[in-house]
Amino acid sequence: MYKVTWDKDVNGVRLHSRIVEGVLGTSPRPVFYEELDLLGLDKLGWKYPHCEEPLLWAINKQYYYKGELVFEAKGANIYDAATVILQPAAQHLILQPVDVEAVLERNKDMMFLLESEAIEFIHETYEQYARARKTVQAASANTLDFEALAQKAEKKTKKKMAIVKEDCDSFDIIAVR
């Protein structure tokens, strides 16, 4: 699994393959202007563009700008608005969007490794299930010895048995009267 740290220069995150100083316990999610509007930050004096890029990062209900906690949302549900608890340094913040291109550029090597691992996992999973499918196909291709199964049942029950094949590729062994 990859470790995540803040990249304060571009208001982004950095991926690492090992534990380094400042590793976050939980991966943050990007926050867009629509969420900030819902929380009412525009009414609290915050200035931010309505753009496609994320503006903040959130871990649970804690919101970060350039790696620094700027506010926390408490008590929101479908009927009640959240209570926003601003940090002292974030009273009238002017936000700049995350430089997505820079974040991607700085993480391109780790993203390549992540992509390669995902492709390898998908390929291995496909191979595993392809082998299982071949086994099921061999079993359903009448490689079962129905006559031997009927003879075993006759010996156990001491009755004459017959094999009845069903439409759905199943069968029953039933006693003949």
With residue 59 as reference, give the H or E element that holds it: strand 56-59
- Of the candidates 68, 48, 46, the one whose C-alpha atom is nearest the C-alpha of residue 57 is 68
Query: Which letter does DSSP use for residue 42 in this model?
Result: G
Q: Domain residue spans in the chain?
A: 3-99, 107-143, 144-177
pLDDT tens for each residue of 126-138: 888 777 666 566 5
Those residues of the chain that have pLDDT short of 50 are none
Ramachandran area for residue 45 (φ above 0: left; ψ -120 to 50: alpha; else beta): left
pLDDT score, position 103: 95
Which value, to the nearest 10 degrees, does the dihedral of the CA atoms of residues 30, 32, 36, 39 take?
-70
On whether the CB atoms of residues 12 and 108 are closer than 8 A, the answer is no
Residue 177's pLDDT is 65
pLDDT at 118: 92
First to last CA, the chain: 65
Do β-strands 161-165 and 171-175 pair in parallel, antiparallel, or remain unpaired? Answer: antiparallel
Consecutive H or E run containing 140: helix 108-140
CA distance 90 to 44: 10
DSSP states of 69-137: EEEEEES--SSSPPEEEE-GGGTT-B-----HHHHHHHTHHHHHHHHHHHHHHHHHHHHHHHHHHHHHH
Residue 38: enclosing H or E segment and its boundaries? helix 33-39
pLDDT of residue 30: 97
pLDDT in the model for residue 136: 61
If you compute the radius of gyration of the chain from its CA atoms, what whole number of angstroms results? 31
CA atoms of 125 and 11, how far apart (whole Å): 37
Please state, in angstroms and rounded to a whole number, the distance separating the CA atoms of residues 26 and 16: 14
